[in-house]
Amino acid sequence: MIALLFVGVVAGLIAGISPCILPVLPVIFVSWASPITGEVHAARARRRRAIAVVAGLVTSFSIITLVGSTLLSALGLPQTFLRDAGIVVLIILGLSLLVPPLEQLLERPFARLSTHTPKGSGSGFVLGLGLGAVFVPCAGPVLTAIVVVGATKHVTAFSVALTVCFAIGATLPILTIALAGERVVERNQKLKERARILRPIGGVLLIAMAIGISFNLANDLQKWLPSYTSALQKSVEGNHFVVSHLRTLENTKSTDGQLASCVAGDAKLETCGQAPNFVGITAWLNTPHDAPLSIHSLRGKVVLVDFWTYSCINCERSLPHVEAWYKRYRADGLVVVGVHSPEFAFEHVVSNVKAAAKQLGVHYPIAVDDNLSTWDAYYNEYWPADYLVDAKGFVRYEDFGEGNYQQTESFIRKLLKEANPKVQLPPPTNVANTEPTSPTSPESYLGYNYLGDYYGDFSPVENQMVPYQLANPLPEGNWGLNGNWKVGPQAATSGRNASLSINFFATHVYLVLGGKGTVQETLNGKTLKTFTVSGVPRLYTLVNEPTPRTGLLRLLTSPGVQAYDFTFG
Phi-psi region of 524 (alpha: psi -120 to 50; beta: other; left: phi over 0): left
The residues, any chain, with a CB within 8 Å of residue 508's CB and separated by 6 or more, are 436, 541, 543, 544, 545, 568, 569
Average pLDDT over residues 387-415: 87
Q: How far is CA 182 from CA 45, 193, 538, in A?
A: 10, 13, 49
d(C-alpha 210, C-alpha 94), whole Å: 9
d(C-alpha 303, C-alpha 310), whole Å: 21
What type of residue sits at position 84?
D
Q: How far is CA 316 from CA 171, 283, 355, 359, 501, in A?
A: 44, 21, 14, 11, 24
Q: What percent of the chain has pLDDT over 90?
A: 10
Residues 465, 492 contacting (CB under 8 angstroms): no
Residues 182, 32 contacting (CB under 8 angstroms): yes
Per-residue pLDDT, 212: 75
Q: Which of the four pLDDT bands, split at 50, 70 and 90, describes residue 39? A: very low
Residues 181, 31 contacting (CB under 8 angstroms): yes
Per-residue pLDDT, 454: 43
Per-residue pLDDT, 152: 53
- Weakest-pLDDT range from 23-27, 251-255, 409-413: 251-255
Per-residue pLDDT, 412: 92
d(C-alpha 303, C-alpha 412), whole Å: 9
Interval 328-371: pLDDT, tens: 998 999 999 999 988 777 788 888 888 888 888 889 999 998 87
Per-residue pLDDT, 366: 93
- CATH 3.40.30.10 range(s) for the chain read 259-419
Average pLDDT over residues 117-121: 51
Question: At residue 255, does pLDDT exceed 50?
Answer: no
Q: How far is CA 265 from CA 268, 411, 553, in A?
A: 9, 11, 35
Q: Which of the four pLDDT bands, split at 50, 70 and 90, describes residue 150? A: low
Which pTM value belongs to this model?
A: 0.47
Helical segments of 215-286, H only: 218-223, 230-237, 240-250
Dihedral (C-alpha) 139, 493, 350, 381: value to the nearest 10 degrees?
-60
- Weakest-pLDDT range from 71-80, 251-260, 289-298, 546-555: 251-260
Per-residue pLDDT, 118: 46
For residue 487, count CB atoms less than 10 angstroms from its CB and return exposed for 0-12, middle for 13-18, buried for 19 or more.
Answer: buried
- Chain-centre distance for alpha carbon 561: 16
Per-residue pLDDT, 559: 92
- Kindly report whether the peptide bond that precedes residue 384 is cis, defined as omega within 30 degrees of 0: yes
Query: 400 or 107: which carries more pLDDT confidence?
Result: 400
Average pLDDT over residues 119-134: 68
d(C-alpha 413, C-alpha 423), whole Å: 10
Beta strand 561-568 pairing with 444-445 = antiparallel
The residues, any chain, with a CB within 8 Å of residue 115's CB and separated by 6 or more, are none
- In whole numbers, what is the pLDDT of the chain averaged over residues? 76
- Weakest-pLDDT range from 142-151, 386-395, 516-525: 142-151
Per-residue pLDDT, 303: 92
- CATH tag, 259-419: 3.40.30.10
Question: At residue 215, does pLDDT exceed 50?
Answer: yes
Q: Which of the four pLDDT bands, split at 50, 70 and 90, describes residue 257? A: very low
Question: At residue 56, does pLDDT exceed 60?
Answer: yes
d(C-alpha 504, C-alpha 479), whole Å: 8
Q: Which of the four pLDDT bands, split at 50, 70 and 90, describes residue 244? A: low
DSSP class of 229: T
Average pLDDT over residues 528-556: 86
CATH class of 444-568: mainly beta
Beta strand 302-308 pairing with 366-368 = unpaired
- Weakest-pLDDT range from 161-170, 195-204, 343-352, 371-380: 195-204
- Kindly report whether the peptide bond that precedes residue 473 is cis, defined as omega within 30 degrees of 0: yes
Beta strand 479-487 pairing with 465-468 = antiparallel
Beta strands in 401-448 (DSSP E): 444-445
- CATH 2.60.120.260 range(s) for the chain read 444-568
Interval 271-296: pLDDT, tens: 878 888 888 888 899 988 888 888 88
Per-residue pLDDT, 495: 92
Residues 44, 121 contacting (CB under 8 angstroms): no
Burial annotation 68-105 (CB, 10 A radius, 16+ → b, else e): bbbebbbeebbbeebbeebbebbbbbbebbbeeebbee
Per-residue pLDDT, 45: 67
Question: At residue 518, does pLDDT exceed 80?
Answer: yes
Average pLDDT over residues 229-256: 57
DSSP class of 274: B
Look at residue 176 and give its three-state secondary structure: helix
DSSP class of 260: G
Question: At residue 310, does pLDDT exceed 70?
Answer: yes
Query: 49 or 470: which carries more pLDDT confidence?
Result: 470
Look at residue 45 and give its three-state secondary structure: helix
Burial annotation 349-370 (CB, 10 A radius, 16+ → b, else e): bbebbbebbeeeebebbbbbbb
